[in-house]
Amino acid sequence: MLQPRNKKKGIEVSHWKVSDANDFQSIETGEDYDIVPPTPDACYADSIHDQDADIKPSTNLLPRISKYLPKIILIVLTISLFPFSISYAWYDRTHIAVAKVAGYEEWYNAAGADITKVKAGAKEEKNHYFNNNKNETVTDKMVLEQISLYDNPSDEEGHLYGAIIAALRNYRSVKKAGKFAEYHRAFAVHYIGDLSQPLHNVPHDSFNKTHHPYNDGIVDADILNNLSEIEKRMYEIKIRQDSFEEDLSKEIARIANISRQLGIKMKAENRDMTKEEAYAQLGHSASLLKAVLNVP
């Protein structure tokens, strides 16, 4: 979205020049404009006029479009290079809420894995989802096979399920060596949260791309004031210390299939999650996280 630094009603904007990667300037008015990424609400506004009501296109733009076509192409290419392709996830407060109700003392680290994506890029992004392009039922075997793909940027389908176990392996290994291990567990905490997001368990098709941002934030605004909505949907999960990965892989597969079925249903009905469904999903993540935290 192009937004004027000093908004003025009725400005005609017909063409632009680029002063740097983030600035555009109207050649006719000299007015400076910034590229402002759209918010989730803006993405779902009723019309373009709702989002950019203060910027009125020039009525005589079309006759001159061929003259300024190179500039238009430059704008489109520049905007397309912005990092909107980064995979989404539940928003930060939602991840923090899951960590809090599960009893994770370092709950403030729960959003850290998303922060890491800013610098690590694909190496971290692929740990946050599994596209399941073959639409297969998830099995514990499938979960275990993904462990070796942890942090692999070339695995386009993603490996969320294996990332959970791999991060916990790292945590246990580093802790056993007497070193600070908490950040490894924090990654697992985040991935367990992602496990319940339906659109992290189905193909990343046009429906997924269109509906993903809104569903990530479906309960985020008020969730820290509504922790009880997650708590009352939690249930007991037992993971044995002597068969930790075996039990955990089965639980990951179970929740993945619940999430996947909801994602399939959303697409079939061409709709978003309801808040009730979102809280139910988060209850699965919180229940699994609590069980993991209870194992020494």
Quick one: 68 and 183 in the same domain?
Answer: no
7 and 41: one domain? yes
Show the domain range for 45.
2-80
Question: Do the domain assignments include residue 185?
Answer: yes
Q: Residue 179 burial (CB < 10 Å; 0-12/13-18/19+)? A: exposed
Helices (H) and strands (E) in the chain, counts: 13, 6
How many domains does the chain contain in total? 2
pLDDT in tens, 253-284: 999 999 999 999 999 999 999 999 999 999 99
Split at pLDDT 50, 70, 90, the class of 74 is very low
| DSSP-derived 3-state class of residue 55 | strand
Residue 100 lies in a domain: yes
The answer to whether 226 and 165 have CB atoms below 8 angstroms apart is no
Based on the domain organization, do 52 and 101 belong to the same domain?
no
Rounded CA separation 120/109 (Å): 17
Assigned domain for 85 exists: no
- Per mean pLDDT, which range of 3-7, 99-103, 132-136, 153-157 is the poorest? 3-7
Q: What are phi and psi of 4, to 5 degrees?
A: -65, 140
Answer yes or no: do 251 and 280 share one domain.
yes
What's the rounded Cα separation, in Å, for the pair 162 and 252? 9
67 and 143 in a single domain? The answer is no
Whether 41 and 73 share a structural domain: yes
